[in-house]
Structure 1
Amino acid sequence: MELGLAGRRALVTGAGKGIGRSLVQALHAAGVRVVAVSRTQADLDSLVRECPGVEPLCVDLADWEATEHALGSVGPVDLLVNNAGVALLQPFLEVTKEAFDTSFDVNLRAVIQVSQIVARGMIARGAPGAIVNVSSQASQRALTNHTVYCDLAMNAVNPTVVMTPMGQANWNDPHKAKVMLDRIPLGKFAEVENVVDTILFLLSDRSSMTTGSTVPVDGGFLAT
């Protein structure tokens, strides 16, 4: 499906790995000019080699001042995907201040800050745009040891477990994985491209009547 995204400028956070990296590759292939934001310079370097023309921006979004400085002069952005996130899994009675602060800073506060910066530019230019937040099915239904992650849940995609390096690391125990897979009617975890395809749709004019919505990408988990 032709999405009509060519020529637009997008900013993607968490672009170094997983969903963000694959999304940057897909946007680049669709003719979108992409600003790729990651806290890991090596990931950005390899991404630029794969996708010449991508604009790398290295900043830790947990740092408010550094983010304001780095993105303050980023220039006009038409499409924003707030994808950066951390999953620090701890049982409720063992949640630490450090884990809470890090999760809050990256998963919620940075989303608000980056969206403010981009939205201000859109408003000043009088230009239309699209913002998509990558959330999780855990924002709608609690999961074991996801206490802070569940609490910190424009359009949003809510994937189930996605087979990124982080997803594989957190769900590599066969017993733990089976408990979750038994709750997913399709019987499998999501692949990165399942999430990327949904984001591309929400960024495009094809979704012009979809706003303020959350779109599950969960194999039926929330339907059961």
Structure 2
Amino acid sequence: MRLAGKRALITAAANGIGRATVEAFIREGAGVIATDIDPGVMEAWGDFGPGGRALRLDVMDPAAIDDVARQVGPVDVLFNCAGTVQNGALLDCTDREWQFSFDLNVTAMFRMIRAFLPGMIAAGGGAIVNMASVASSLKGVADRCAYGASKAAVIGLTKSIATDYVRHNVRCNAVCPGTVETPSLRARVEALARARGTDLDAALGAFRARQPMGRLGTADEIAEAVVYLASDAAAFVTGSTLVIDGGFIN
């Protein structure tokens, strides 16, 4: 029960890493506010226990963020999981794709933190965990220009908040996964296989082959790292980038 007594808000909680983190937080005793843009999926969550609920939230809508912050009040933990992966090198990237990557991966995160940080300060502290990536932000990865640049910005944002609010007992860290088996990855691999006219298994095999461990990460493995950073066990950890990549950047 590493999160007993804590209230946590998680974005992109319907699938993949977000969903696995909701489940892990509940097991560890947290009251969870699970948010996602998909209201149908969120309705299926059911009872989260004391203080928990499911809410629809479009993190691209500043007014919606402020409204949710008013509805739920202060939280002890904020996990910014929402994001997008834009494929392509610089010459493949349009202005619109570049802007969307930064709007969702960085600006939405900035607004979420801005909405919930005052409550943490007033309560005497809190923990913020941001979703970054090893791809291009920590290691150059082909065809990830906009994605890598936006995730590098997440790391900069994380370190800025950690420095500015450490005296308020607010910790801010980032998780940097390698390639993780999620519905989002599966959809991207399927699209890639169709575009190249290749077999799906072969396309997935290429992703596995670049992992030194010979396998993809799991959403549960990333969720466990988020639990750690959100818990009091990480009380002396702030401004860090926790790499969970199966040795990808070694």
Provide the TM-score with structure 2 as the length reference: 0.81
Task: Say whether residues 1:168 and 2:186 are aligned partners.
Answer: yes
Give the Cα–Cα distance (whole angstroms) in 1 for the partners of residues 183 and 107 of structure 2: 24
Residue 237 of structure 2: which of 185, 207, 210 is its match? 210
Residue 187 of structure 1: which of 200, 214, 226 is its match? 214
- 3-state SS in 2 of match to 1:21: helix
Give the Cα–Cα distance (whole angstroms) in 2 for the partners of residues 167 and 86 of structure 1: 11
Partner of 2:176: 158
Shift, 1:178, TM fit: 4.1
Partner of 2:37: 39
Give the Cα–Cα distance (whole angstroms) in 2 for the partners of residues 178 and 22 of structure 1: 24
Residue 226 of structure 2: which of 189, 193, 199 is its match? 199
8 A contact 2:31–2:49 mirrored in 1: no
Shift, 1:104, TM fit: 1.1
Give the Cα–Cα distance (whole angstroms) in 1 for the partners of residues 89 and 174 of structure 2: 26
Residue 93 of structure 1: which of 91, 94, 103 is its match? 91
Shift, 1:93, TM fit: 1.4
Shift, 1:222, TM fit: 1.1
- 3-state SS in 1 of match to 2:44: helix
Give the Cα–Cα distance (whole angstroms) in 1 for the partners of residues 206 and 27 of structure 2: 37
Which stretch of structure 1 is more off in the superposition, 137-146 or 195-204?
Answer: 137-146
Residue 127 of structure 2: which of 115, 125, 130 is its match? 130
Partner of 2:158: none
Give the Cα–Cα distance (whole angstroms) in 1 for the partners of residues 66 and 222 of structure 2: 28
- 3-state SS in 1 of match to 2:22: helix
Partner of 2:138: 140
Partner of 2:162: none
The one-letter code sitting in structure 2 at the alignment partner of 1:95 is: C
Which stretch of structure 1 is more off in the superposition, 168-177 or 205-214?
Answer: 168-177
Give the Cα–Cα distance (whole angstroms) in 1 for the partners of residues 61 and 103 of structure 2: 8
Give the Cα–Cα distance (whole angstroms) in 2 for the partners of residues 74 and 148 of structure 1: 33
- 3-state SS in 1 of match to 2:67: helix
Partner of 2:157: none
Unaligned runs of 5+ in 1: none
8 A contact 2:212–2:248 mirrored in 1: yes
Q: State the number of aligned residues.
A: 219
8 A contact 1:21–1:47 mirrored in 2: no
8 A contact 2:134–2:245 mirrored in 1: yes
8 A contact 2:89–2:144 mirrored in 1: yes
The one-letter code sitting in structure 2 at the alignment partner of 1:8 is: K
Per-residue CA deviation, residues 103-129 of structure 1 (Å, 9 max, x unaligned), is: 11111011111111111111123x221
Give the Cα–Cα distance (whole angstroms) in 2 for the partners of residues 56 and 25 of structure 1: 13
8 A contact 1:62–1:102 mirrored in 2: no
Q: Following TM superposition, where does structure 1 have runs of at least 4 consecutive aligned residues deviating by more than 6 angstroms?
A: none
Shift, 1:193, TM fit: 0.7
1:40-119, aligned counterparts within 5 Å?
Answer: 40-48=38-46, 51=48, 54-119=52-117
- 3-state SS in 2 of match to 1:48: coil
Provide the TM-score with structure 1 as the length reference: 0.90
8 A contact 2:211–2:247 mirrored in 1: yes
Shift, 1:52, TM fit: 5.6
Overall identity of the aligned pairs, in %: 33
Unaligned runs of 5+ in 2: 152-171, 191-199
